Amino acid sequence: MENINHTGAAAGTDQEAAESSKNFIEQEIDQDLAEGVYNHVQTRFPPEPNGYLHIGHAKSILLNYGLAKKYGGKFNLRFDDTNPTKEKTEFVESIIEDVKWLGADFEDRLFFASDYFETMYECAVLLIKKGKAFVCDLSAEEIREYRGDFTTPGRESPYRNRSVEENLRLFEEMKEGKYADGEKVLRAKIDMTSPNINMRDPVIYRVAHMAHHNTGDKWCIYPMYDFAHPIEDAVEHITHSICTLEFEDHRPLYDWVVRECEFENPPRQIEFAKLYLTNVVTGKRYIKKLVENGIVDGWDDPRLVSIAALRRRGYTPESIQKFVELVGVAKANSSVDYALLEYCIREDLKLKRPRMMAVLDPVKLVIDNYPEGQTEMLSIPNNLENESLGERQVPFSRELYIEREDFMEVPPKKYFRLFPGNEVRLMGAYFVTCTGCEKDADGRVTVVHGIYDPETKSGSGFTGRKVKGTIHWVSVPTAEKVECRLYENIVDEEKGKLNADGTLNLNPNSLTVLKDCYVEPALKGAKAYDSFQFMRSGYFCVDSRDSRPDAPVFNRIVSLKSSFKL
Ligand code: ATP
Ligand code: MG
């Protein structure tokens, strides 16, 4: 798996291995370059600005960007904003931010399909002049009826044989606003008997009296996707127009448009399978409902897999790049285990981030033989697996917070943490022996007591005896109180993603808010998106929306343990 993208190999078997590990898109590009179909590679990511990008789009972005980079070519970001009904500037901004954050550098090549409306109009006029397009007065319903289906051939529109002059005049009138929405359309004249329904005289322009976010009221006719998209690609000199499988049947129309519009060295379309993930919700329709019904707190709720949500949760661009690389490209749709994404972020943060102590479910431990009012500073390495992260000073004192689950009055077998008479190591500090506990009227433990052995200080070289358990702690007087948010998948795939009535089968435990957590003072001043390992609890990230200096909020990115093996 490691050499999926390993192409720079020098010679011999390495070179061969690199060639055979190329994905099918790379193989096609190699062939195009070898045969001189193209002499360069130019790709693009063409989002419609009608929502936030998600992990599936990240795959498309990194695939297109990666190919351009690999072949010394260029990568464009182009907004496919040809449908004025659903598009918003808010989405344009979020998409630009997300693409940049992912590391897909489009340099100065940020384009809007709506900037090509004039060219598209000219292409339509050219088609009319060539007798390849006609204005049709059938209603949308009639067009559908005439189109036929997989078993029935289509019937020709009664308007199909209008003269070029009449078509030119009517199309001009459509543009001038003479007709109401739906009254007339422009259709390509291809073949009503084609086995491919997309080729049965598809509509290429419609009337829509609607303001556009970029062009305002300039146009009242708008091109249809299947006509606009190939022209956008051709205008930008895209060579390989990479899209998802549902467009496979549209490819003959794509080729027809670039050919009949007489573009030189036209682009070609290559399809790959969409990325699906288990246990998450990617469809815009469902996410919108979750947002509108207040089940999640916005498009960037950390339980979602929009890019904004992953960023807020604490995912890094590197982890998503790794994920996309491991998933590879395929020609058949399949679902990828969410655990693979978790594996990638764990791997990415493992050596990069400091490991700190945080107590999520606190109970007090009082060390009765430690001097009252004394604080000593202990040097603790920031990451035992990466010395370059250095050390930090951690205050230690008589009163500590420990995890409630690290003490049991009556322990089960193989419990090596605190119970009366047992000795454990306090991480980076001393051995402490439990002497008992205090409880409230309900029998709930309120304070654990212990005594420490000053001889056993960490790093002092003490070898006198060994203990089986090590627990983490935070010194009470200097502890920083924080909120921690723990997440589970929002839907449980094994129990079924949807209920019988079509609504999402939501996991009621997808969010747990812990208000009384304590962290080391070294975490004071952590900024939005900063992430850390909280020892034994997982990786956490400062929430970019709700965290405040006087009331920090941490999101758990991922726990430490994984059921996933690569
Ligand atoms: P959605 O259906 O999730 O809203 P979309 O296809 O409507 O997605 P677009 O903005 O039209 O979103 O897509 C931009 C690009 O992203 C297209 O090239 C599309 O093929 C690609 N894309 C969308 N979803 C996925 C996915 N799950 N995996 C890979 N590529 C995707
Ligand atoms: Mg779409």
Q: From CA 471, how far away is CA 109, in angstroms rounded?
A: 53
- Structural domains in the chain? 26-272 (3.40.50.620), 276-349 (1.10.1160.10), 355-558 (2.40.240.10)
Residue 412, both tokens: 């089960």
Count Cα atoms within 13 angstroms, Cβ side, for 453.
18
**Cα separations (Å) of 494 from 83, 275, 278, 491, 505?**
38, 19, 9, 9, 11
Q: How crowded is residue 496: how many other Cβ atoms within 10 Å of its Cβ? A: 11
Q: Which of 228, 227, 254, 253 lies closest to 240 in space, CA to CA?
A: 254
Give the Å distance between the CA of 48 and the centre of ligand 2.
6
What is the best residue among 60, 238, 307 to mutate for testing ligand 1's pocket, by most ligand atoms within 8 Å of CB? Answer: 60
Residues 185/143, Cβ–Cβ less than 8 Å: yes
Q: What backbone phi and psi angles, to 5 degrees, belong to 336?
A: -100, 140
Q: Which ligand is nearest to the CA of 243?
A: 1
Give the Å distance between the CA of 48 and the centre of ligand 1.
9
Predicted confidence at residue 397, as pLDDT, reads 98
Give the Å distance between the CA of 266 and the centre of ligand 1.
23
Q: At what angle do helices 117-129 and 164-176 cross, to 10 degrees?
A: 160
| Rg of the chain on CA atoms, in Å | 31
Single-letter amino acid, residue 531: S
Q: Which of 2, 478, 44 lies closest to 239 in space, CA to CA?
A: 44
Tens of each residue's pLDDT in the chain, 566 residues: 333 333 333 445 566 666 668 999 999 999 999 999 999 999 999 999 988 899 999 999 999 999 999 999 999 999 999 988 776 788 899 999 999 999 999 999 999 999 999 999 999 999 999 999 999 999 999 999 999 999 999 999 999 999 999 999 999 999 999 999 999 999 999 999 999 999 999 999 999 999 998 899 999 999 999 999 999 999 999 999 999 999 999 999 999 999 999 999 999 999 999 998 988 887 778 888 888 989 999 999 999 999 999 999 999 999 999 999 999 998 988 789 999 999 999 999 999 999 999 999 999 999 999 999 999 999 999 999 999 999 999 999 999 999 999 999 999 999 999 999 999 999 999 999 999 999 999 999 999 999 999 999 998 999 989 999 999 999 999 999 999 999 998 887 777 777 888 788 888 899 999 999 999 999 999 999 999 999 999 999 999 999 999 999 999 999 998 655 55
Q: At what angle do helices 225-235 and 117-129 cross, to 10 degrees?
A: 110
Residue 139, both tokens: 């209603």
Burial of 435 per CB tally in 10 Å (0-12, 13-18, 19+): middle
Using CA positions, which residue lies closest to atom 13 of ligand 1? 47
Q: At what angle do helices 317-327 and 338-350 cross, to 10 degrees?
A: 130
What atom of ligand 1 comes closest to residue 246's alpha carbon? Answer: 20
Q: From CA 119, how far away is CA 370, in angstroms rounded?
A: 81
What atom of ligand 1 comes closest to residue 48's alpha carbon? Answer: 10
Task: Record the pTM.
Answer: 0.91
Give the pocket of ligand 1 (CB within 6 Å). 46-48, 51, 56-57, 59-60, 243-244, 274-275, 282, 284
Q: How crowded is residue 108: how many other Cβ atoms within 10 Å of its Cβ? A: 5
